[in-house]
Structure 1
Amino acid sequence: MVSAPKTRPTDASVDDFLAAVEDPRRRADAEAVRDLMTEISGEPAVMWGTSIVGFGNTGGPTGDWPLIGFSPRKANLVLYIAGGFPEREGLVGRLGKVKTGVGCLYVARLDRIDGEVLRDLCDRSVLAMRSRHSG
């Protein structure tokens, strides 16, 4: 039996969380990503656990998880973007200087990646997640 994710939505304030990010550049990048993901997902930003800002909810078979999200960590801005859709690899390759994980992108600075490619990548990720987890 697969266990449900331990990270769950909370009532904590996203604005307070972002305001507490010490590095001004990381805070500004996080605010910009929040605005982008809110627009693309059509969902409000919600704190998931103590350090992830998520949008929407998959309600998947292993439990709840955001459709898309991010976390402003000290070393990088971590973007939680779905894998497994055909265009992902090509878009990530055009994005610019990022590191990748299974469902993550590690971005040092937003001004060093292509914003339009990021928008397209986030949009396709949300569509893929909604398609996977609908009905």
Structure 2
Amino acid sequence: MYEQKTKETDNSVIEFLDLIENPKKREDAYKLLDIFAETTGYPAKMWGPSIIGFGTYHYRYDTGHEGDAPLAGFSPRKAKISLYFATGDTERAALLQKLGKHTSGKSCVYVNKVADIDVDVLKELILQSVVFLKETYPTS
């Protein structure tokens, strides 16, 4: 049976952020903490050793694979900041075009610093992710 690797933990978000060596990256991480918490209305929780997630949902795929994940989140990695939003919503692509300087993978959006992006568009992406995931995976 599949064992989910990234799970919610009781580790301290503040202690994690305080360990970020680069002062600019640490400052950006605190900005993102405020933006995500205010926008989602959920408290920040650590997911695994390095992802800060907000809210949670339970997913179950047709294959039988299931687990829990945050509705939205971020990780202040050394190279870039990873932003986590829902995939599969058609609004995502349109919002990403307005976000600012970023790159994106399958489920992550990568930014160098908060100053490179439009914070209002970031808030729209966060809300879109929360709404989409709650509609797609309603609680039973």
TMscore range, shorter length? over 0.9
Match status 1:114 vs 2:118: yes
The match for 1:26 is: 25
**Which letter maps to 1:42?**
G
2:11 aligned counterpart, secondary structure = coil
Q: How many correspondences in the alignment? A: 134
The match for 1:97 is: 101
Whether contact under 8 Å (1:53, 1:71) holds in the other structure is yes
Whether contact under 8 Å (1:4, 1:64) holds in the other structure is no
TM-score computed with the length of structure 1 as normaliser: 0.94
Gaps of 5+ in 2: 61-65
2:132 paired residue among 128, 131, 134: 128
Structure 1's consecutive aligned runs of 4 or more residues displaced over 3 angstroms after TM superposition are none
User: Following the alignment from structure 1 to structure 2, what is the Cα–Cα distance between the partners of residues 16 and 118?
Assistant: 25
The match for 2:80 is: 76
User: Following the alignment from structure 1 to structure 2, what is the Cα–Cα distance between the partners of residues 83 and 36?
Assistant: 20
Whether contact under 8 Å (1:78, 1:106) holds in the other structure is yes
In structure 2, relative to structure 1, the CA distance for the partners of 1:103 and 1:95 (3 Å cut) is same
CA drift of 1:5 comes to: 2.2
User: Following the alignment from structure 2 to structure 1, what is the Cα–Cα distance between the partners of residues 136 and 27?
Assistant: 32
More strand by share: 2
The match for 2:46 is: 47
TM-score computed with the length of structure 2 as normaliser: 0.91
User: Following the alignment from structure 1 to structure 2, what is the Cα–Cα distance between the partners of residues 26 and 35?
Assistant: 14
Whether contact under 8 Å (1:55, 1:69) holds in the other structure is yes
Whether contact under 8 Å (1:5, 1:65) holds in the other structure is no
Match status 1:10 vs 2:9: yes
User: Following the alignment from structure 2 to structure 1, what is the Cα–Cα distance between the partners of residues 10 and 127?
Assistant: 26
CA drift of 1:6 comes to: 1.0
